[in-house]
């Protein structure tokens, strides 16, 4: 199951108004660590389907969203719960660490 892409026009509906907790992967096509993290993100999306919504946001296509959340380096993962940022992970993080953060919100 491919991870859904969001952008500035769909971000509010998909992330901020979501009933489920949402993991947002801030990335860009030129970012090597972002590409390395993609298989992990896709696996999590499949494993946690129905419990957590997992989406990707290309910072080059939606720089205003990245700016709003002060994304300074990528990959950055933000976990939103009821429209608010509750957790942040920066860099090429291990799957277990991501699951550990997500479990607090499931």
Catalytic residue among 5, 10, 20, 31: 31
d(CA 51, CA 39): 19
d(CA 76, CA 26): 5
For residue 31, indicate whether it is catalytic. yes
SS3 state at 35: helix
Contacts of 39 (CB under 8 A, 6+ apart): none
Q: How many CA atoms lie within 13 A of 29 on its CB side?
A: 4
Cis peptide leading into residue 75 (ω within 30°): yes
For residue 4, indicate whether it is catalytic. no
Catalytic residue among 23, 34, 59, 79: 34
Q: Would you name the residues annotated as active-site residues? A: 31, 34
């Amino acid at each position: 199951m491919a991870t859904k892409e969001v952008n500035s026009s769909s971000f509010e509906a998909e992330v901020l108004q979501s009933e489920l907790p949402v993991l947002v992967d801030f990335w860009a096509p030129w970012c090597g660590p972002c590409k390395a993290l993609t298989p992990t993100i896709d696996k999590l999306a499949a494993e946690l389907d129905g419990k957590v919504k997992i989406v990707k946001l290309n910072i080059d296509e939606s720089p205003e969203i990245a700016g709003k959340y002060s994304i300074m380096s990528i990959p950055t993962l933000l976990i939103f719960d009821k429209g608010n940022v509750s957790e942040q992970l920066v860099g090429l993080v291990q799957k277990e660490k991501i699951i550990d953060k997500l479990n607090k919100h499931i």
